[in-house]
Amino acid sequence: MRCLAQTRRYWFTGSSCAPKGLTVALASILLLSASAWAQSAAVPAFASPEKAAAHKAAFERKVKAMHLLRSPDWYYRWRINVTKERTLYKEGIDLPALDMRAGSGTYRENLLYTDAVIKGTVISKKSDERKEVYYHSLYEIKVDEVLAGQTVPIVITVCLRTGKAGDLSLRMRDEPALNVGEQVLLYLNPVDFAELAAAKAEGSWNYENNAQPGSFNLVEKYLIKDAYVFEADNSRIDRTTTVSTNIRRITALLDKTHFYQQSFD
């Protein structure tokens, strides 16, 4: 069975994939441990399959030489240049420590597996209550500023699994909640249509993908209030300008756009 990446909001030790949990509560409330499908915005450009394989093999040797516990495939999937370990440490991202830790990541650490970060406002919500579809809540976000990653339209759609599905109410335990009117800082990955189609073809995923091209999955959400950024529990992180500056600097350091051109020999 295909081992697709689970939620990126939490770090798990001992495996490259997070455990899937399913709890059926009373009153037709279904609580799920969200399975957020892995995304990969950049497309590797190699002259041949042999060169592509050599690049990945060199990267795997580098990860193993550093004695990192997480699978090299995980780091390669998210285009994390492990050779920048010391510089990342200075930015508050300790790769070896993350491999040993379970729990939620910081706004700095969550950049490791995020393709785009935007500031914006939640302007509308559309529900899809059909049981056969994968996403039950589709939110429109007016983008005010792109802090990291790819260029996005002025209005984007963010797809969540949480919502009504027939007679059931689905609540993804580790999926951030969005509310119309909120000003937010969002960590996003594009919906991976190819991977969902492949999973369905092999029988490991049996839903209808009701996302539209150009839609995004939500990795993490932070609230923006009174020029400050806040965690989900309303704890204050820092001024919005400071957080934005840090995000831009760390994104430039990660430089995922040129990951496949980086030599790891």
pLDDT in tens, 246-260: 999 999 999 999 999
pLDDT given at position 237? 97
10 Å Cβ neighbour count for 124? 12
Give the CA angle between residues 42, 46, 50 to the nearest 5°: 130
Least confident of 16-25, 113-122, 199-208: 16-25
CB proximity list for 92: less than 8 A, separation 6 or greater: 106, 108, 109
153 pLDDT tier (thresholds 50, 70, 90): confident
Average pLDDT on 91-116 reads 91
Contact 228, 236 (CB under 8 A): yes
Average pLDDT value for the chain: 84
The pTM of the full predicted model, rounded to 2 decimals, is 0.83
Q: Which two tokens stand for residue 252?
A: 């430039």
Domains (range + CATH), the chain = 1-265 (2.40.50.120)
- Per-residue model confidence as pLDDT tens digits over 3-21: 344 344 444 444 444 333 3
Following DSSP, what letter does each residue of 242-262 receive, concatenated? HHHHHHHHHHHHH-GGGGGG-
pLDDT given at position 150? 72
CA distances from 227 to 142, 230, 234, 239, 243 (A): 18, 10, 14, 6, 10
10 Å Cβ neighbour count for 205? 19
